[in-house]
Amino acid sequence: MAYLLLILVLAALIYLGWRMTRDSSSRQRTRVIGPDDDPEFLRRLGQEDNPRP
């Protein structure tokens, strides 16, 4: 009976470890927003920094 309980606990730990590693590998990476992705930055850049003659 003790061996059966030990096997169930080990199986549960292995399953939880497998699920945690699988979830972390499929998670999306954070995306870095650059100046060309920011429309407000481009709008401000076009207005004040480069005045047209």
The maximal CA–CA distance of the chain, rounded, in angstroms, is 89
- The mean per-residue pLDDT over the stretch 6-28 comes to 85
* 25 or 10, greater pLDDT: 10
Token couple for 14 = 């292995």
* 39 or 21, greater pLDDT: 21
Number of domains in the chain: 1
With a cut of 90, say whether residue 10 has pLDDT above it. Answer: yes
With a cut of 60, say whether residue 43 has pLDDT above it. Answer: yes
Whole-angstrom distance, CA of residue 39 vs CA of residue 41: 5
Please tell me the predicted confidence (pLDDT) of residue 26. 61
Please tell me the predicted confidence (pLDDT) of residue 22. 79
Please tell me the predicted confidence (pLDDT) of residue 30. 72
Whole-angstrom distance, CA of residue 22 vs CA of residue 19: 5
Domain extent, residue 32, equals 1-49
